[in-house]
Every structure is written in C-alpha cells, then in structure tokens.
Amino acid sequence: MADEETDLHRAARKVVPHLDELIGERTPLELRDGLPPADDNAIRRLAATEPVVGEWLADYLDATGSGLRTYNPLSGDSELVAPSAVFRCPQGTLFWYRRFVGERPPRCPTHGVNLIRIDEGTPNS
C-alpha cells in the first residue's frame, strides 16, 4: 500500500490550500508538516487536534464518498407543468411571464398601458 493513495490521503491533500482560512492565525507550515503522504494515523491526529480541519475532512469524505447513491422521486403526480400565462404590451415592446397564478401583470414601463394576455393559439404579434 506504499504507492496507493487512500480517500483520506486525497482529502488531506485537498485541505492544505484551505488551512489559512480554517485555522486563522496559526502557522499553516507546521500543520502542513503534519500531513505526511502515507500515514493515516498522523492525518487522524491532526484532525483531532484541529477540530475545524477534522470537520472539513469529514465533509469532504462524505461529499466524495463512493457509497451507493439512490434517487427517490418526489411523491405526487408526475404531470407536465402548465405553461405560464404570457402578457404583452399592446405596442409589442414588452413580454411578461406570470410566475404564479393570481400575480397581476405590471403596466408597460415604456408606454404606461396595461399588458394584455396572450392566450394559447393566439399569434404573438
């Protein structure tokens, strides 16, 4: 296992650039010396003495873990989402899409007129 890099070694190598922000005023060089490339126990000791580094390593290992990930679809109907209502300025300079049912369209900021709804099947011009 001398030439083999473990997940913990990879995580330790990735944390080194973040040591300044993680430990603040402490000298990062001393901690970099505490990250030997082939000693899992030394890396664990560093994580124990510097809890914020240990949390970073744990988060990294959790996020990059090789465990099986599954997909559970949300409950409910899997129907297509109805298209949003579209409104336009009568002068044709602005198109506005309603974000939720009941939202009132604004007035055209250029012409000061009410926007009109474009119904499905109606030409956009």
Question: Percent of the chain scored above 70 by pLDDT?
Answer: 75
Query: With 70 as the cut, is the pLDDT of residue 114 above it?
Result: yes
Arithmetic mean of pLDDT, 98-112:
89
Q: Higher-confidence residue: 106 or 18?
A: 106
Q: E strand or H helix at 13, and its extent?
A: helix 7-15
Q: What are the contacts of 88-97 at 24+ separation with CB within 8 A?
A: 88/115, 88/116, 88/118, 88/124, 89/113, 89/115, 90/116, 92/125, 95/124
Q: Residue 15 is encoded by which pair of tokens?
A: 């944390």
Full-model pTM: 0.45
User: For residue 90, what pLDDT is reported?
Assistant: 93
Kindly tell me the burial class for residue 46, based on how many C-beta atoms sit within 10 Å of its own C-beta (0-12, 13-18, 19 or more): buried
Query: With 50 as the cut, is the pLDDT of residue 112 above it?
Result: yes
User: For residue 37, what pLDDT is reported?
Assistant: 59
